[in-house]
Chains A and B, each alone.
Chain A
Amino acid sequence: MPAETHVEKGPLGRPEVFELIRDQLADILEIEPGSISESSSFAEDLDADSLALIELVEGLEEELGERTVGFRIEDEDLEDLRTVRDAVDYVVAKLGTA
């Protein structure tokens, strides 16, 4: 079931979710946003370790929690997120948007 959305901010589409994840990753990893694509692998292409991914998760929960009540990324789901595309798909599904 899609999560409840706050009225003051509209739901995010897939392009906006990608931009959000890309910008937060760029900030965490201190790299240019342009160097991150949907096919980028967290470990192999971006050298993102587990702590960097937790930083990303906390950042997304903070940002998206302001828009969507109860938005949360489950720790046990993190192992399945290997690429930026995986993360975008996961967040889009959680938000119930397309």
Chain B
Amino acid sequence: MGGDNAPGEIVAGARRAAEELGIAVVLVGPPEQIGDTGGLDVLPASEVIAMDDDPASSVRRKKDSSLVRAAEAVRDGKALAMVSAGNTGAAMASALLRMGRLKGVVRPAIATPIPQLGSHPAVLLDAGANAECTPAMLVQFAQMGAAYSSARYGVEEPTVALLSIGEEKSKGTPLVKETHELLESAAHVRFVGNVEGRDLLRAPADVLVTDGFTGNVALKTLEGSLRFFMDALLEVFASDEEAKAAAEVMLPRLAPLAAEFDPDGIGGAALLGVDGVCVISHGSSNATAIVSALRVAHDVAAAGLVDRVAQAVSPL
């Protein structure tokens, strides 16, 4: 029930996922607000956590909210996974408090795909769950990210890089330098060294590790830059008759590239470290984004994501 376009686009996406992908989707929320489900089951929840509600306290206060009920459905084995386009913090809090943390995991992290030219996406984490991190937490993020890369993209031995301001291990904040040291000998991690922000779209690794503050800034910068570039390109193509003629030739060739970098097709971010699958789609999700998120949630649940993460994480 969350998100800027709920419930219309959410329900439309759920119906499309059921039809196109054959996924049994259960909608969670106030039945009178959900409207025509097209035959999909509804798990009633009388409350909704708003986008601006405080995440942690709202999960405690609104026990009959759609987010809390969805997390409980996963905990109780009634659903394989939950997907939300609502309040990100509250989605994380409800998953953490209702599904529980995996043993050994200090803090869950948000893993988001970063498109790569001609290859499967890299996984960036943490994309915003933990603004302040310790080196040991970042090592766990590396382990969880590698497990996700395997479950989501079938990478057998994912490589891991650490986001920094230079490739040399002597560069970066104390957090980055200490994390670099730990990653060199960490279990279940094929560490390939530091990576800089300019390399995010041509990443030399399957997993990109950073703290939640830096990760969120990097992600939003990337999204904004890509959007700006696309808009600027379209402006040039519309500038005169010659450009318009060129656009007729070029745009069909550019369309697949644009689709590859379209956030709606990427499928949301996964919350790793909780005892269940939780996929968080962006707040402005349309039906296509919801279809993508449901596909990802279904696929990683079927690939045993939670067990893979549990096995990959080394206790501190």
Contacts and interface: CB of A to CB of B under 8 A. Distances in A.
A58 B104 contact: no
A51 B316 contact: no
A29 B97 contact: no
Interface size class, chain A: 10 to 19
A75 interface: yes
Interface in B88-140: 92-93, 96-97, 101, 104-107, 130, 132, 134
Contacts of A57: 60
A49 interface: yes
A75 B57 contact: yes
Q: Which of A28, A31, A51, A75 has the most CB of B within 10 A?
A: A51
A32 B224 CA distance: 43
B56 interface: yes
A50 B60 CA distance: 13
B93 A54 contact: yes
Contacts of A54: 56-57, 59-60, 93, 97
A55 B316 contact: no
Contacts, number: 37
A47 interface: yes
Contacts of A47: 132, 134
Nearest to B315: A30
B275 to A, nearest CB: 13
B57 A30 contact: no
A55 B96 CA distance: 8
B198 interface: no
Interface in A38-66: 47, 49-55, 57-58
B61 interface: yes
Contacts of A53: 56
A94 B56 CA distance: 22
Interface size class, chain B: 20 to 34
A75 B56 CA distance: 10
Contact of B60 (A29, A31, A58): A58
Q: Which of A29, A30, A50 has the most CB of B within 10 A?
A: A30
B134 A51 contact: no
B108 to A, nearest CB: 9
B105 A75 contact: no
Interface of B: 55-57, 59-61, 92-93, 96-97, 101, 104-107, 130, 132, 134, 315-316
Interface of A: 28-31, 47, 49-55, 57-58, 75
22 contacts: A28-B101, A29-B106, A30-B104, A30-B106, A31-B316, A47-B132, A49-B107, A49-B130, A50-B56, A51-B93, A51-B96, A51-B107, A53-B56, A54-B56, A54-B57, A55-B96, A55-B101, A57-B60, A58-B60, A58-B97, A75-B57, A75-B60
